[in-house]
Amino acid sequence: MQKTTENSPPVAIVTGGARRIGRQLAIDLHAAGLDIALHYHSSRDEADSLAGQLCRQREGSCHTYRADLEDTSAVQDLGQRLLARHGRIDLLVNNASGFAASPIAECTPETFDQMLSSNLRGAYFLIQALLPGLRQAGGSVVNILDMHLTRPLRSFSAYLAAKAGLASVTQSLAVELAPDIRVNGIAPGAILWPEDGLAYDDQTRRATIARTPLGRLGTPGDISAAVLFLAQSAPFVTGQILTIDGGQSLT
């Protein structure tokens, strides 16, 4: 497989890129001129469909990669495959995430470890695996966090503990990897409701929008615009966490 050359388009890796916010990230980063390395775990059909759509717009501009980010050996293998194909890595967006309720009275060690693996451990070791490519490109990392780090969501303590860990890693690595690699985070508020409908029933959804100063849900495009800003228009910004929540965290 051929590595990226100096004349090739920049490369963005989007984890969890087949669906929801990740899909929009891939579409908008591609529209901005980046080639896409699209990671997925179980959403193969959606990933293949999106890759086909992007490659019809620009031949060879999107490749898919399957990996279970809860498996450290799979993360290391993913990193090797990405470096073998692309060489340099201009942008890594750690978007893949696990989201599950974990009331303290019921949370098991398995649930806690799953939240840590899917939201923190996988992202951490993928950054580690991609360091040579990120350094070669002078690239950046954007970690997708959660506005509820500062306004805790009841019964989601394990999930938020993992996201808090990723926020800490974001700032720690911004110092450790400078000046070669910038590391920032984005903390979305209400963008897309969880698909299972359990965390946000109709009453909770109405209340969430009512206490959001801008009076609406955000869109996946709001997140991709912020990623593009941090990746391409903010060369003197690192170690920052940008909250995209319509002002909800202020109320």
Please list the active-site residues: 159
DSSP codes, 82-93: HHHHHS--SEEE
Helices (H) then strands (E): counts for the chain: 9, 7
- Select from 80, 86, 173, 79 the least CA-distant residue to 136: 86
Phi then psi for 131, rounded to 5 degrees?
A: -55, -45
Which residues face 243 on adjacent strands? 187
Please give the Cα distance from 19 to 161 (Å, whole number).
24
- Alpha helix segments (H runs only) across the chain: 20-31, 44-57, 72-86, 109-116, 122-129, 131-137, 157-176, 202-210, 220-232
**Please, what sign has the CA dihedral across residues 190, 171, 158, 196?**
positive
Q: How far, CA to CA in Å, does 113 sit from each of 58, 71, 100, 152, 187?
A: 40, 12, 12, 19, 22
